[in-house]
Homo-oligomer: A and B are copies of this chain.
Amino acid sequence: MASTRASPNTKHVVIVGAGFGGLYAAKALSRDPAFRVTVIDKRNYHLFQPLLYQVATGKLAPSDIATPVRHVLRGRPNVRVVQGAAVDLDPAARQVILNGGVRIDYDILIAATGVKHSYFGNDAWRENAPGLKTIEHALEMRQRIFSAFEAAELSEDAAEQARLTTFVVVGAGPTGVELAGAIGELARHTLKDEFHHIDTGRSRIVLAEGAAQVLPSYPADLAAAAAKSLAQLGVEVMTGTLVTHIDGDGVRLKRPDGREEAIEARTVLWAAGVRASQFGQTLARRVDCKLDRAGKVEVNADLSLPAHPEIFVIGDLSHYAPAGGQALPGVAPVAMQEGDYVARLLKARQRGRALPPFRYRNQGSMAVIGRHAAVGDLRFVHVKGVVAWYLWVLVHMMGLIEFGNRLVVMTRWAWNYLTRNSGSRLITSVPEARTDHADRAHRSGR
């Protein structure tokens, strides 16, 4: 469809996934008459994932960190947006196939569908330990966190109250640290005066990590600073600790000394691992390419597939190890730079030129623990505490501005900052009716 409108010289670039990588590629290709761009996403919005933990802990509303893709890409006449799930690929016909059967022709395909969380084979843990990759996950976490306090307030049994106000976060990467810190703030400050039967300040918050330090990818001094800030918020950090079991009663842990320990906890949150989204396997099934252990697609130095110069894989879905080095981390700046690179490469190809291999310019990474507490590894300088926190706010504000959510978030943050309140603590439940709108529309539309 739609390819009938293409002039013979115009390349049709189809981008699957409207995350950081996909949107950067689309923006960089827009306004260049040599290209038509179609962005496909199963959601109608771009999600600013680094702030998802703030939705999970009731600090922000979903729409504060999510912008309609159409709105981000408005006013770019050569960019079309399609809401739909890309479920298959026909590489011979050069077509992406959507759920419902719609086929979209491409000259160039950019796969940027990201990752989902993974339980390392223990899928039974999912029911009792939700992860955090989507708005729905964040609302699910929010629901669990706040209804645990509500249930504790109603309980008359001290042991039961303790179980209800015990929170275990599995995995102390940035997301786990941010979640544990935010729950600490909720329990110690935000909710402190709102309950009569329980003292939320006595909640137990455990952060379990298999590596020897929190923030395993950070330098040791920053990890130590983060651990100290977590302790100040009442978070028990357990490093060198493996989770061996999760069920409705809580978790079982294996501590560094080999001892087994059970923690009774109503609320267990999963921040421990990711694996590639389904579209990676679709690619592997249809074209000649290799997946790594996490299902990510291995790419050339120009981010294309070895046997398919017309197919690119970028962002978290991509496995790219610069010559002799480690694979690039799954963070927003990598995805953005990759999206930008592929757009420049395509423009160069149109002019018959080539580009040097993709090179990631690492501008550092930051994690926030709580109010006035963050750490930043800025390559040549390590920042901690208040300075790092203000820098974190600045960087994320600029990121949100780019995607059009500035004013409301700034207001909400300013308000939360001044009052220590957090106003998005609704426990919403499931809409009563159908969930398969897009499917139905396509079926009925055919």
Binds B, one of A150-158, A170-178, A360-368: A150-158
Contact assessment for B431 and A143 in the assembled complex, using a CB-CB cutoff below 8 Å: yes
Candidates B45, B430, B444; contact of A425 at CB < 8 Å: B45
**Assembly CA distance A442 to B151 (angstroms):** 7
A239 within 8 A of B: no
Candidates B63, B136, B415; contact of A424 at CB < 8 Å: B63
CB-CB < 8 A to A136: which residues of B? 428-432
Instruction: Name A174-213 residues within 8 Å CB distance of B.
Output: 191, 193-197
Contact assessment for A80 and B151 in the assembled complex, using a CB-CB cutoff below 8 Å: no
CB-CB < 8 A to A1: which residues of B? 156
A260 within 8 A of B: no
A84 within 8 A of B: yes
A114 within 8 A of B: no
* Number of residues from A at the complex interface, CB < 8 A: 78
Q: Which chain B residue has the least Cβ–Cβ distance from A156?
A: B1
Binds B, one of A274-282, A314-322, A379-387, A406-414: A406-414
**Assembly CA distance A157 to B441 (angstroms):** 12
Candidates B62, B82, B193; contact of A154 at CB < 8 Å: B82
A49 within 8 A of B: no
Which A residues lie at the B interface, using CB under 8 A?
Answer: 1, 43-45, 61-64, 66-68, 70-71, 74-75, 77, 80-84, 102, 127, 130, 135-137, 139-140, 143-144, 146-148, 150-151, 153-157, 160, 164, 191, 193-197, 266, 404-405, 407-408, 411-412, 414-415, 421, 423-435, 437-438, 441-442, 444-445
